[in-house]
Amino acid sequence: MNTSNKLTLLMTLFALLLASKASAQNNTSRQDSLRIDSIAVNAHKTGLAFYKSGVYYQALDNYLLALSLQKDLNNTGAMFRLYEDICNAYFYINDYLMMKQYASEAVEYAQETNMIMPEAGFSLHVADASKNAKDSLAAETAYAHAYTLFQQIGDTMQMATVFNNKASLYGIDSPKKLASFQAAAHLLEVPPVDKKKQERLYHIYANIGDWYENQGDYQEANRYFQKSIEMAQATGNPRIEIFLYSHLAENYLKRGDLNRAKQLSLQTVALIDKHIGPNHTFDVALKVLGKVYEAEGNYRAAYNSLQKWSAVNDSLQKRNRQTEINKIEQRYKYESYRQDKLNEQNLELERKKASITNLRITLVGLITACILLIIIGTLIYLYSRKLKMKNRELYLQIKNQDFLVSKVEEKELTILASQPDTESSKSAKLYLSLKELMESEQLFKQTDINRKKIATLLGTNEKYLYDAVRENTDCSFNEYINRLRIRYARQLLTSEENLTIDEIAFLSGFGSKVTFYRNFREHYKLSPSEYRRLAIEEIVEKTN
């Protein structure tokens, strides 16, 4: 398998590994999302239970935990529901700055997600919170923004709510207050006037009546009070009537209209006895009735009414005290549980985050390793290619050198044959004799061949033989023998493919494989195996 195939195989294996890791990550991420969503839903449900019980601080703890988890999941619907519940909880504990903070956060998120309805609703929350926090300028701006959005949606009820809530920004005698109430009423009076509009209108009419009463315009006040009563009766909700009659009875008492105050008080008490019973919270009518009886001189009836009012008040106070005690007790018991739960959930989240971080680090490491392998593989491929080209050039140079050497030797033989017998020609002829002997007998293949044996065979002495070799080859006798052996080894490398390198080394006259490798590489700058590979490639190319 060549280098490029190995590189392709490595890259394929790493691609499969990365795909497997990515699939495992997706499955783990999906399971983690489901678990986090389950935790968030349970926290929200627990918060709603606390909220209904009046334990608003515990409710907020659960809401905020659920919100942080839903943010991680980017669950838009659940986030808006939680923002709504958080704003309501902060409203009931009178923390208007925190209510404004979370309402503003919800407005920003609604703008990011391009959802007009939630933006409008939470803009109204921002306005109400700013108003209660005594920030009139911010409230004005938020009310205007909310009204514009509700107008785009076409929600008449909410537009009227904006005007009604905005009215409390102004002083009790301010014309702006009256204008806001009247604008709200005008929006709700447009047919059809359904039950929801009636429930809203009775309250707005009563507010308008209060405004006229504060101005001393009792005729206009009575007109709106009567409209308020009619609208309350139209709702069919006795609690609304009770609340309204109690409020109006107290107003008429302050005004000195004892008959009207008594009438409304009696109506209120009758509705309470009919629909609610003795355990009620509407105690204002009893107080008003007692004051009316006192003004009429009916002290027994006044005493009975005030006694009943006092009993209701005492019951309410006792109940309120017990409610506060229960809240603190619940807070005390739940605090340790909540903290343990939060710590457990935080640890779980940290573990998941750490797992995700480790997975990311692993993926980055794998990608980096893959890139490094690709770079290293590319460098190895380029180096291998360059080395092959260089060896190819060396092989061609060797072939060309062989051709030139053969031509030179032929020319030298011709010249030497024609020269007269002189000292220099004797040396050359001795060299030629040596060459012929080596070609015919191939004595160089003998590992124990030496200069003395060859000199004896040529009928000369060692010194003459050494000088003849030195003068005609510019190398020593041993170097000359090694050249013959290397040249013969080259022939075997090309022609005898079945022979191993070790066998060729010994057949060529080398005493060891190491000596053969060293001499071959020094002479040709190539290893024997590389030379054989190039020679075989050349033969294949010529065959094709």
Which is more confident, 53 or 455?
455
State how far the Cα of 101 lies from the Cα of 67, in Å rounded to an integer: 14
424 falls within a domain: yes
Count of domains for the chain: 1
State how far the Cα of 307 lies from the Cα of 303, in Å rounded to an integer: 6
Q: What is the pLDDT of residues 131-174, one digit of tens each?
A: 999 998 999 999 999 999 999 998 988 999 999 999 988 988 88
| 517-540: average pLDDT | 86
Q: How many Cα atoms sit within 13 Å of 63 on the Cβ side? A: 24
pLDDT at 317: 58
Q: How many CB atoms lie within 10 A of CB 356?
A: 14
277 falls within a domain: no
pLDDT at 496: 84
Q: How confident is the model at residue 316 (pLDDT cuts 50, 70, 90)?
A: low
pLDDT at 27: 55
- Stretch among 83-87, 143-147, 283-287, 447-451 having the lowest mean pLDDT: 283-287
3-state SS of 172-193? CCCHHHHHHHHHHHHHHCCCCC
Give me the percent of the chain exceeding a pLDDT of 70. 83
72 falls within a domain: no
- Averaged pLDDT score across all residues of the chain: 81
pLDDT at 123: 93
Highest mean pLDDT of the ranges 22-36, 140-154, 437-451: 140-154
Q: How confident is the model at residue 236 (pLDDT cuts 50, 70, 90)?
A: confident
Q: How confident is the model at residue 472 (pLDDT cuts 50, 70, 90)?
A: confident
Name the DSSP letter for residue 444: G
| 302-309: average pLDDT | 77
Among residues 317, 341, 345, 338, the alpha carbon closest in space to that of 57 is found at 338
294 falls within a domain: no
403 falls within a domain: yes
State how far the Cα of 205 lies from the Cα of 228, in Å rounded to an integer: 5
> Tokens 């220099």 appear where?
424
412 falls within a domain: yes
- Whole domain around residue 506: which residue ranges? 394-543
- Stretch among 12-21, 52-61, 372-381, 531-540 having the lowest mean pLDDT: 12-21
CA dihedral 54, 59, 61, 67 (to 10 degrees): -150
Residue 125 has pLDDT above 90, yes or no: yes
Residue 331 has pLDDT above 70, yes or no: no
Q: How confident is the model at residue 9 (pLDDT cuts 50, 70, 90)?
A: low
State how far the Cα of 113 lies from the Cα of 121, in Å rounded to an integer: 15
CATH number at residue 480: 1.10.10.60
482 falls within a domain: yes
| 533-539: average pLDDT | 83
Residue 185 has pLDDT above 80, yes or no: yes
pLDDT at 183: 92
| 357-368: average pLDDT | 89
400 falls within a domain: yes
Q: What is the pLDDT of residues 171-183, one digit of tens each?
A: 888 899 989 998 9
State how far the Cα of 352 lies from the Cα of 276, in Å rounded to an integer: 54
Residue 433 has pLDDT above 90, yes or no: no
pTM above 0.85, yes or no: no
Residue 360 has pLDDT above 70, yes or no: yes
pLDDT at 127: 93
Distances (CA, A) of 405 to 90, 184, 409: 104, 116, 6
Q: How confident is the model at residue 121 (pLDDT cuts 50, 70, 90)?
A: very high
